[in-house]
Amino acid sequence: MKRVKYLVILIWRPFINKGKCQSLTGSALAVMAGLVCAFGHIQGAGDVKQAAQKGLYLHWCIPTYYVAGKNETKPPSRILSTRVFVGQEISITLDNGSPSLHGRIDLRDGKYSAKLTGSFGTSSGSFSGVIQPEKAFEPDLYAFSSAICGTYFVLSTDKSCKPFLKAKASSKAGD
């Protein structure tokens, strides 16, 4: 007996109102995307599916860095943490435009895929690719004006970023 690995539900039918076609609103598309994410991968990814349904947390942090003029080392710290839902846009801007975080996280073939852009200090970092929950990942491209402010992200089921900050603080430089 062959087991079904994927169940995909696609519904697309423009609404017709007195002969005029209307497209689905953003909220209707979000509901449909949620249904596809919720039912998209049934076998072998129960934990991933459950996490996607209840929401995850995206932590954006600064690694350990050295302050040259003061001869001191600063420990890792959090820029921001936010609850995210798979398939929904992320758009956060704090203070006077920095920091700001934009993008989205999707679920494809049982794996998380992220496309994120974060601006912090004098630089912006972008990431596009597959990510693993509970593991730090860094932007793969930086744009900067005077200096690169290195950052990293962690997608987690834990709303606290303290375990990740502690792990970065105890790891060797460059890890």
Classify residue 104 as exposed, middle or buried by CB count within 10 Å of its CB (0-12, 13-18, 19+).
middle
CA 157 to chain centre: 12
Residue 2 makes CB contacts below 8 A (sequence gap 6+) with none
Same domain, yes or no: 153 and 67: yes
Per-residue pLDDT at 26 exceeds 50: no
Segment holding 18, helix H or strand E: none
**pLDDT 10s digits, 140-161:** 999 988 888 899 999 999 999 9
Per-residue pLDDT at 162 exceeds 60: yes
**Is omega for the bond preceding 99 within 30 degrees of 0, making it cis?**
yes
DSSP 107-174: EETTEEEEEEEEEETTEEEEEEEEE-TTS-B--SEEEESS-----EEEEES-S--HHHHHHHHHSPTT
Give domain status of residue 33, yes or no.
yes
Same domain, yes or no: 28 and 74: no
**pLDDT 10s digits, 38-80:** 333 333 455 656 655 678 999 999 999 888 888 899 999 999 9
Residue 136 lies in domain: 54-170
Give domain status of residue 152, yes or no.
yes
Same domain, yes or no: 91 and 70: yes
The chain-wide mean pLDDT, for the chain, equals: 75
* Dihedral sign of CA atoms 155, 160, 165, 170 in order: negative
